Amino acid sequence: DAGITQSPRHKVTETGTPVTLRCHQTENHRYMYWYRQDPGHGLRLIHYSYGVKDTDKGEVSDGYSVSRSKTEDFLLTLESATSSQTSVYFCAITRQGGSPLHFGNGTRLTVT
């Protein structure tokens, strides 16, 4: 465990409800990422951050927003959850380009 905590670990929510997932790191790493993992699709990048208040979109960013107001926290928000956002969400961090990527244990989100 590279000092990454994701919360909550499990969540069930209803369609149309806003949801925020949190990733907290104690490593002071520059880069933070949100991925989702689904059967048949593998790992897909949602959003990432390359510094405080510096974020950019990944390949599946529609319906998601992120914020990073301090180095240690990266928040992923589903503004209005849909059933297609049922997935396992992983946060990852790396110190700099070229360094190993380290993952959290994931958040399993179910949207009913």
Partner 1 sequence: KQEVTQIPAALSVPEGENLVLNCSFTDSAIYNLQWFRQDPGKGLTSLLLIQSSQREQTSGRLNASLDKSSGRSTLYIAASQPGDSATYLCAVPLVMDSSYKLIFGSGTRLLVRP
Binding residues for partner 1, rule: CB under 8 A, are: 31, 33, 42-43, 45, 48, 50-51, 54, 56, 58, 90, 92, 94, 96-106
- Taking the complex as a whole, the smallest distance from the CB of residue 80 to partner 1 amounts, in Å, to 26
CB-wise, 14 or 38, nearer to partner 1? 38
CB-wise, 42 or 62, nearer to partner 1? 42
Taking alpha carbons only, the member of 97, 100, 80 closest to residue 19 is: 80
- Taking the complex as a whole, the smallest distance from the CB of residue 8 to partner 1 amounts, in Å, to 15
How far is it, in rounded angstroms, from Cα 19 to Cα 35?
A: 16
CB-wise, 77 or 102, nearer to partner 1? 102
